Structure 1
């Protein structure tokens, strides 16, 4: 389906004279906890053009803990690991953007250019898994920011985490739209075949131009379908994550995306409605007005119908599906399409294989 959505130009010039290239957010407003608002301005001093280009910065964090615990009743997992803070993919709709405000950074351009890697998290995770009080259950990775964003190629923090989970025979789920996951098939394949792993691949649209505008540094849609195929061939159960569904923009593609994912080998599917918590609402509105000015009002009006007249309803049970007639129609379409295409459920992950690997000096078991 063709949306006539312009791809982001090679460069976007900001009001302060700085330039961005392949970024999602159009501004860098301060987070909600900041007492001051700072406005950058060109002071008249000449600056080399290369110095004006906003580049990705990576800061390192010494992790004190690895497992993050969740008690939300509408989420399947209760624990997760986040190898990174911020995400270079730059998806304008990302519901994790407000988390950067806790770091005194902007949920806008800072979220996709000022990234934090957590090397050493593998050793911290191993210590937490060895604790006597620990009870095994699947760990979710990629529920906040993408573990296979571009900086993983150099930082290899996700690889570090995977090696620990493999050594412990610990079940996990991964959600990503990054092609770097193929690098780790030597670990993922055996874990998938052993019943320890499932992967969700996120596909928002099949339109390359729209994807480029929505998710400027993520893999193209056809490339993500190829990732599904390669994971499936390696023995990894794959779920299509049809997320987010943007009403009035990407929802007409629901059946086409499901069909393409099934042909690529996906065994299960799930969908999530667009979520605009905190600062994401304003960022997404600015993006719509700049990229799709003729359709912005319609898209936002449909979203308000799904969220009780608001940009976003954070209530459990409603935040991921919406409410009302349109929500019911989306769910009916999804149910009929998945039934027709033969999607099913992924097998439950095994927890009975969990074992702490022996360390140097440990007494060996007699059995």
Structure 2
């Protein structure tokens, strides 16, 4: 179904929340027009903030996300379905109703100070971007980095925002102790495509400039080419890797487009809106790479896919990395031996 693009937003509407038994539609059967497109920040107080996973596809076992939802508006974002847990839609709600965990640093500090806690690298930005626009005002990610520096806790970050340059002072101090690494996500170097696909993100050139500034300060920095979308941005793979190496990246990895739950519908509509003549071809290649479906969540397949197209991307990626001298790595080894929890005194006061 073709829809009208909304300037500055990645999607064109709010699909039904899968946890709701009822939903409203207009007389013509379409979801009612979305009139309010300003961004609302919903402040919440969290009880716990460290999320843990045992997925063999994910290089980190624990993460912290200071925000739910993301104003960057990337149409392909695999995190969109999580907004349904907050009684919101994975569509426009995801990019216009941002939940900020205002006590995230206090919670994080408390959780890592527990007696039984063992230090492992924490990933900031596993779900939504920790440097999306609201971070400039709230500084929740910076507060997390301050806790990591205070307690010498290892930390990694993933972002596609140049705002990370604001925190070079903290990141440099962490890096000097072997406590941090950064992945900059670069999807495209084509600004016209970027404006359609991820409207409120930094340009590819700005992200590469951030790579350079991080590398100059001795912060281990890699590039994440993600997502790779058949017949949309896959032709840029080698160019992105070459530009990243030139900027100072030491490692690289990639992820093939993932379309879980509502993202399938949102992405298909986006294709029909912006690339109607090639939409069927793109979806066909995705299906061929996902065992005949638009998404396969199986471990070992969900990040890289399978089949002829997926194998070709894998070979091109490895060949380019070998030629450029880029390490193929999802994460860097960080120092866990310096961690000092400064656990609070459990004994009650006599008076």
The TM-score range, normalised by the shorter chain, is over 0.9
CA pair 233-357 structure 1, distance change in 2 beyond 3 A: farther
8 Å Cα contact 2:4/2:12 also seen in 1 = no
Deviation of 1:179 after TM superposition, in Å, equals 1.3
8 Å Cα contact 2:113/2:344 also seen in 1 = no
Deviation of 1:174 after TM superposition, in Å, equals 0.3
2:340 maps to 355
2:296 maps to 313
2:154 maps to 171
Please say which of residues 326-335 and 104-113 is displaced more in the overlay: 326-335
Deviation of 1:314 after TM superposition, in Å, equals 0.5
1:204-243 matches, cutoff 5 A:
204-243=187-226
Indicate whether 1:24 and 2:31 are aligned: no
Deviation of 1:325 after TM superposition, in Å, equals 1.6
C-alpha RMSD of matched pairs (Å): 2.0
Deviation of 1:322 after TM superposition, in Å, equals 0.5
1:110 maps to 93
Deviation of 1:39 after TM superposition, in Å, equals 3.0
Deviation of 1:332 after TM superposition, in Å, equals 0.7
Deviation of 1:197 after TM superposition, in Å, equals 0.5
Deviation of 1:348 after TM superposition, in Å, equals 1.2
Indicate whether 1:326 and 2:309 are aligned: yes
1:137-286 matches, cutoff 5 A:
137-286=120-269
8 Å Cα contact 1:82/1:147 also seen in 2 = yes
Deviation of 1:360 after TM superposition, in Å, equals 9.8
Deviation of 1:359 after TM superposition, in Å, equals 6.8
TM-score with structure 2 length normalisation?
A: 0.92
8 Å Cα contact 1:167/1:356 also seen in 2 = no
8 Å Cα contact 1:30/1:105 also seen in 2 = no
Indicate whether 1:129 and 2:112 are aligned: yes
8 Å Cα contact 1:167/1:357 also seen in 2 = no
Q: Deviations over 1:259-296 (max 9, x none)?
A: 00000000000000000000000000000000111111
8 Å Cα contact 2:113/2:343 also seen in 1 = no
8 Å Cα contact 2:171/2:180 also seen in 1 = yes
8 Å Cα contact 1:190/1:235 also seen in 2 = no
C-alpha separation between the residues in 2 aligned to 1:238 and 1:283? Answer: 32
C-alpha separation between the residues in 2 aligned to 1:144 and 1:250? Answer: 22
Q: Deviations over 1:301-326 (max 9, x none)?
A: 00000001111000000001101122
Q: Deviations over 1:106-132 (max 9, x none)?
A: 000000001100111111111111111
Unaligned runs of 5+ in 2: 28-33
Instruction: Give SS of 2:224's match.
Output: strand
C-alpha separation between the residues in 1 aligned to 2:204 and 2:13? Answer: 26
1:71 maps to 54
1:7 maps to none
Deviation of 1:21 after TM superposition, in Å, equals 3.4
C-alpha separation between the residues in 2 aligned to 1:197 and 1:221? Answer: 23
Instruction: Give SS of 2:116's match.
Output: coil
CA pair 70-361 structure 1, distance change in 2 beyond 3 A: closer
1:5 maps to none
Runs of 4+ aligned residues of structure 1 deviating over 6 Å after TM superposition are 358-362
Instruction: Give SS of 2:73's match.
Output: coil
Unaligned runs of 5+ in 1: 1-11, 15-19, 42-50, 363-367
Deviation of 1:31 after TM superposition, in Å, equals 1.3
Alignment match of 1:291 (pick from 274, 282, 285): 274
